[in-house]
Structure 1
C-alpha cells in the first residue's frame, strides 16, 4: 500500500510502464519521513509481480509476490538499509545483478536506499551502470539529500521529488493515530512518518517538553531541561533547530523582534547547525547554551 499523499506520484510511472517507456533509473527524493523507501518497495512489488499486466500493481498472490513477502525474491536487490557508507564493492554487486538473468519474469529491481552515502568510487561505478542500461532492469535511488549526488548521476535518472501537495491526505491519516494534537505537529507537515515513529517510540512527551521550553526560553531551568532532553536523545538536535526556527519566526510575526535582529538570529542558528554537522568532538551542551544566550540577547534588544 502506498501512503495516500503519494498516490499522485505513482500514476505517471504507471502510464510510462504500461507504454513500455519507464525509465531504467528513477531518483526518489524528498524529506525524511515522507515515505520514499515504502514507495520504492511498492514500485518493486509492481515491477516484479507475475500478474501485474503492465499496471505496476502487485496482485499479492502470485509466486513473485510471495517471494517478496518472504524477502527472498531472486530478482530484487536492496542496498543501504543500514544507513552506512555505501562502498564500491556494494555497487559492483549492482552491476553483476543487472547483467545476470531474471529468475521469475523479465524484470529485475535494485533499490538503493540512502544513495547519498555512496563513496566517490561507488558513485563512479553506479554511473557506469546507469549509462549502459539493460532492458527490464530498474534502479530505484532513494535519498533525502539529492544534491549530494553528482549532477551526472542525477541527469541519468528520472527525478521524482516526493512531497505532500494536499496536506489533508496526511492530516486525515495522522488523525487515525491521534497525531494531530501536538501544537508543533504542523512543523512536520511534510514528514508524517516521523510523527508516527516518534509516537511508536514513545517520544511525544519529550518532544512536547522540548517545544515548550524553546517556546518560553526564559529561565535557566528551561535551558537545563533542553540540554537534558538532548543529552538523552541526541537525534533530537535537528528537531531542536526546527522548533527554535519556528520560535524566532513567531517573534518576528508578533513584532517582538525587528527584522535586523531576526536576520542575526537566523544566522546564529545556521552557524550552530553547521557546527553540529562539521565539528568533530563538539561540546554540544556548551554550543546550545551559547546559542540560547546569544538569541536571548537579540530578543532583549526589542524589549
Structure 2
C-alpha cells in the first residue's frame, strides 16, 4: 500500500470492524494514484483465511492462490476494446451467486468501471440491489461523472488522492525517478504511478521537450520533433494540453487579451477532440494548425 492511501485504508478497516462495510466499494481518483492496487490489496484481505488485523497473512493457502493468480473466488473484469460489455457483467452475476470454492468470501474487481456500456451498468445494478452474504464488488473509476447515479448510490465511495505532495515526492525518490531534472515534475505528484510509468517507458525526456515547446510558444521552432512525439505517444497529448493551458493562463495574467485567450482555448478543445478521431497526416496538419493559432494568439 502506498503512503498516501493510509487514510483511506484506515477508513475501510474501521468500517469493516464496526460492521458498516459496504458490499460494493467504489474507488475514485486520477489515473496513476494506485486505485487498482488498493482494490487488489483489499481483495486479498477479504479472501485471506487468517487476516492479521486488516492485512492478508501471506502464508495461508488462499494467499498462495492469490499470489499465483489462480484463486477461484476472485474475479477481475477489465475493459476489452475500451469498454466493458454486458456479457462480462452477466458473468459477474453468475460468479457471485455460486458457492465459494474455498469456503470463504468471493470478491470481484471491476477496473475502470466508467467504461461499462449502458447495458452493462444496468446489469450490474441488479446485482448491487440484491447483495449476497460474503460477496464483495470492488470498482475503480477515474471519473465518476461517467457512471450512472443509480450505480453510484449503491456503492460505498472512497476518494483516492495524494493529499500531501511530499508523500508522493518521497516515494518517487525511493523509486529513483529523476524528477529533480524537470521543472514540470511537481505538477504530476498527484499521479505518482504515472510518473513511474513514464520513467519506465523512457518518456521523461520527451515530456521535457513538450514542456519547453509549450513554455516558449512564440519562439518554439522544433515543431517536427513535437509532432513526432505526439504521433508516436498518443497518451502524451493530454500532457501537452496541460502545458499549453498553463502557458495560456500565464499569458493571460501578463497582458494577453481575453478574446485571444478564448480563441486559443477553442483551438485546443478542437484539437483534443480531433485527436480522438484522426490519425497520421491529418493529425500532423491538425497540430500545425493548432500551433499556428496559438503562436498568433500570444504574439
| Structure-2-length-normalised TM-score | 0.93
Alignment partner, residue 67 of structure 1: 65
Alignment partner, residue 24 of structure 1: 23
Deviations 1:137-172 (A, max 9, x none): 110111112211111111111111211111111011
Gaps of 5+ in 2: none
Deviations 1:246-296 (A, max 9, x none): 22122234x14244433333333223223333x455821112111111111
Q: What does 1:209-220 correspond to in 2, within 5 Å?
A: 209-219=209-219
Alignment partner, residue 120 of structure 2: 122
Report the Cα distance in structure 2 between the residues aligned to 1:170 and 1:82, rounded to whole angstroms. 31
**Preserved CA contact (<8 Å) 1:256 1:299:** no
Report the Cα distance in structure 2 between the residues aligned to 1:274 and 1:207, rounded to whole angstroms. 21
CA RMSD of aligned residues (A): 1.9
Q: Name the CA shift for 1:21/1:106 in 2 (closer, same or farther; >3 Å).
A: farther
Gaps of 5+ in 1: none
Tell me, what secondary structure is at the counterpart of 2:298? helix
Report the Cα distance in structure 1 between the residues aligned to 2:248 and 2:159, rounded to whole angstroms. 29
Alignment partner, residue 283 of structure 2: 284
Report the Cα distance in structure 2 between the residues aligned to 1:291 and 1:62, rounded to whole angstroms. 58
1:40 and 2:39 matched: yes
Alignment partner, residue 269 of structure 2: 270
**Preserved CA contact (<8 Å) 2:177 2:196:** no
**Preserved CA contact (<8 Å) 1:179 1:195:** no
Q: What does 1:105-254 correspond to in 2, within 5 Å?
A: 105-176=103-174, 177-181=176-180, 182-219=182-219, 221-253=221-253
Alignment partner, residue 103 of structure 1: 101
**Preserved CA contact (<8 Å) 1:217 1:223:** no
**Preserved CA contact (<8 Å) 2:89 2:123:** yes
Greater displacement, 215-224 / 96-105: 215-224
| Structure-1-length-normalised TM-score | 0.91
Alignment partner, residue 75 of structure 2: 77
Tell me, what secondary structure is at the counterpart of 1:140? strand
How far is the alpha carbon of 1:125 from its aligned partner? 0.8
Deviations 1:14-55 (A, max 9, x none): 1111122210111111111110111110111111111116x4
**Preserved CA contact (<8 Å) 1:213 1:225:** no
Deviations 1:67-111 (A, max 9, x none): 100001111000106563211111111111111111225311100
Q: Name the CA shift for 1:114/1:184 in 2 (closer, same or farther; >3 Å).
A: same
Alignment partner, residue 92 of structure 1: 90
Deviations 1:115-138 (A, max 9, x none): 111122111111100011111111
Tell me, what secondary structure is at the counterpart of 1:257? coil
Alignment partner, residue 293 of structure 1: 292
How far is the alpha carbon of 1:231 from its aligned partner? 1.9
Q: Name the CA shift for 1:165/1:48 in 2 (closer, same or farther; >3 Å).
A: same
Tell me, what secondary structure is at the counterpart of 1:56? coil
Q: How many aligned residue pairs are there?
A: 296
